Amino acid sequence: MANDFIFAEENDQEEVPDNTTEAGWKVLIVDDEREVHAVTRLALMDLVFEGKGLNFLSAYSRREAEQLISEHDDIAIVLLDVVMDTDDAGLQVAKYIRETVGNRTSRIVLRTGQPGQAPERSVVINYDINDYKAKTELTAQKLFTCVMSALRSYRDIIRVKEQLERVEHELSFYQTWLLEHQPQVRQQVADAYQRLTENND
């Protein structure tokens, strides 16, 4: 299977800098072929996004993937093989991320060396993934582009979540302040909100 995952030859023979770091964006590689892990790291080791490189995590089975996912709630991207210890192991990992853990932020890129085993249309419809790639189409440059795009999406989602958390914190503060200092005003606001929602039903 790993032999199907071949990167196009590069004309540039310059040494690729290694920008990987523990403080970087977390990328989980899930694949039962060790060669896939090696070439993926090699292709992405010079990637820097917003001043940070990548921090690679590796899993070689569904069980290992689910363990790492449960331990790290800040994984930016999951590069996920479909067929590992079972024919649908990767799909079950995707389901675990979204449904069991409830993680909606990590970007899931499904990679398969056997497209017929998990047809793209069916997978995209039935599983909450963000991209689907056949290993044979992923040159080093296309993988780089795919990961960079996924990082931008992840960054934007995190920013929105942080903004919502700040708004909720501020709202909670003002609600508490009103309750302590202006309980009658708080009650008036609550009554007005209730009337508004009732009129909209």
Write down the domain spans for the chain: 25-157, 166-199
Distance of CA 1 to the CA centre of its chain: 24
Location of structure tokens 């490189």: 53
CATH code of domain 25-157: 3.40.50.2300
Q: Using an 8 Å Cβ cutoff, are 28 and 68 in contact?
A: yes
- Residue 142 burial class via C-beta count within 10 angstroms: exposed 0-12, middle 13-18, buried 19 and up: middle
> What integer is the mean pLDDT of 125-154?
93
- Do the bridges between strand 107-112 and strand 25-30 make them parallel or antiparallel, or are there none, so unpaired? unpaired
Q: Using an 8 Å Cβ cutoff, are 30 and 59 in contact?
A: yes
Q: Where residue 14 falls among pLDDT bands split at 50, 70, 90?
A: low
> What integer is the mean pLDDT of 162-171?
79
pLDDT tens track for 142-160:
999 999 999 999 999 999 9
The structure's pTM equals 0.76
Q: What are phi and psi of 104, to 5 degrees?
A: -105, 0
